[in-house]
């Protein structure tokens, strides 16, 4: 797993620039990659969120799934009620580190055309999601 790397800045710059940890949503539900798309849609509706962090059996972040992606898969001809998140989640590495500046993460997200990006600690555990405001 690769994190977006932090560039070195003078100590005074850290006070001026907020970090990803300051801006992320830490309350986004985490789901297992063997969960079905239907169950994920139910979790998403209950949590009133547009995205879920997808984790493997060890609890490490493997990607993100959005409501738009789940709806598109559910409406496709190949969909079955056994479709698993591991087969449809967007693997969008590198993930963001909570230590980089918000501006750096948002710039990377815009370059990669991402609306949301998982934030992971140094071990690969999801700690939140950074979403671009529209």
State pLDDT tens for residues 15-50.
Answer: 447 999 999 888 889 999 999 999 999 999 999 999
What is each CA distance from 23 to 5, 26, 113, 115, in whole angstroms? 17, 9, 19, 14
For the chain, the domains span 18-131
Closest by Cα among 87, 35, 39, 32 to 56: 32
Is the per-residue pLDDT at 9 higher than 50?
no
What's the predicted TM-score (pTM) here? Answer: 0.80
Q: What is the pLDDT of residue 35?
A: 96
Give the CATH fold of the 18-131 domain. CBS-domain (3.10.580)
């Amino acid at each position: 797993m690769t994190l977006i790397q932090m560039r070195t800045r003078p100590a005074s710059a850290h006070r001026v620039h907020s970090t990803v940890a300051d801006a992320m949503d830490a309350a986004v539900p985490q789901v297992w990659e063997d969960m079905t798309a239907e169950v994920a849609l139910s979790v998403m509706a209950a949590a009133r969120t547009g995205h879920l962090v997808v984790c493997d059996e060890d609890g490490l972040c493997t990607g993100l799934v959005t409501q738009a992606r789940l709806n598109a898969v559910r409406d496709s001809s190949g969909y079955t009620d056994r479709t698993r998140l591991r087969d449809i989640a967007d693997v969008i590495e590198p993930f963001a580190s909570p230590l980089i500046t918000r501006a750096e993460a948002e710039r990377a997200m815009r370059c990669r055309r991402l609306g949301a990006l998982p934030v992971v600690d140094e071990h690969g555990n999801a700690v939140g999601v950074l979403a671009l405001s529209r």
